Structure 1
Amino acid sequence: MQEETAQSAIDTFISAFNASDDSYVTSLLSQALTTDVVLWGPLGRSEGIEAVERFVLDIRRHPAGVGTMVRSSGVDMPDEWARYRWVFTTPHDGPRLTGTDVVHLRRSLIDQIIVFAGDVKPVS
């Protein structure tokens, strides 16, 4: 049951990247995130839905064009932490980025997001 709740919040969060219009992003994020959410992303730490909204809108405005974000794995959830893989693809064979997010849930909403973009390099 926990994994289904986490998957619902995660899929709603991901849907914000794919919203048909920027005006829907805030509403989707509000359904998936706590107001005091903490985002640990490629550019550092930020707090609040507004910060996550800026992050999502920046990705939506990728120079290669509006891309598509999809969850590319199941949701693995030990206790209140969950992880999943994702793929972001831009149009016309543009850049493709993959990664893994780790999220923490509180009362069925995501209150922390840790973004790991790209693959971990193997040990040589």
Structure 2
Amino acid sequence: MPEETAQSAIDTFISAFNASSDTYVIGLLSQALTSDVVLWGPLGRSEGIEAVERFVLDIRRHPAGTGTMTRCSEVDMPDEWARYEWAFVTPADGPRLTGTDIVHLRRSLIDQIIVFAGEPKPSS
């Protein structure tokens, strides 16, 4: 699968976090994800596009205010797996969250998302 295809799905997924209204979130996710997508996130494992929608809406409703999600690295894609770094910044110098997502693609859509929030701690 070409990296451009993966990048398109990833960028559409990220755009759901930045949609002008909550009503657009599910439409954007439907363009990027399979209906049976599996999300491995900070709160555990969940399945289905509706679960990812809840995850996105929760982040959109961050207590510090509506933030902006950006992809801040190139998409690195060996075969059907891809990874990229992201940042979520809230308004007025509020909290900044960063991390790395690893996604698996099936038929040009994301069917698995593994979210690594924050930076790994140095080994001791």
RMSD (Å) for aligned C-alpha atoms: 0.6
The answer for unaligned runs of 5 or more in structure 2 is none
State the alpha-carbon separation in 2 of the partners of residues 86 and 70 from structure 1. 6
Matches within 5 A, 1:102-121: 102-121=102-121
User: In structure 2, how many angstroms separate the alpha carbons of the residues matched to 1:120 and 1:62?
Assistant: 23
2:6 counterpart of 1:14:
no
Say yes or no: does 1:73 pair with 2:50.
Answer: no
After superposition, where does 1:1-124 map in structure 2 within 5 Å? 2-124=2-124
C-alpha distance in 2, partners of 1:51/1:23? 15
Structure 2 CA distance for aligned equivalents of residues 120 and 23 of structure 1:
35
Deviations 1:6-31 (A, max 9, x none): 00000000000000000000000000
* Aligned counterparts of 2:109 and 2:46: Cα–Cα separation in 1: 17
Gaps of 5+ in 1: none
Give the distance between the partners of 2:46 and 2:23, measured in 1 at CA: 21
Distance 1:4 1:101 in 2: 17
| Deviations, residues 23-69 of structure 1 (Å, cap 9, x unaligned) | 00000000000000000000000000000000000000000000000
With normalisation by structure 2, the TM-score equals 0.99
Letter paired with 1:7: Q
Question: How many residues are aligned here?
Answer: 124
Q: Distance in 2 between matches of 1:34 and 1:95?
A: 31
Using the aligned pairs only, state the percent identity: 85
Residue 107 of structure 1 and its aligned partner are, at CA, apart by 0.1
Aligned to 1:115, the other structure's residue is in SS state strand
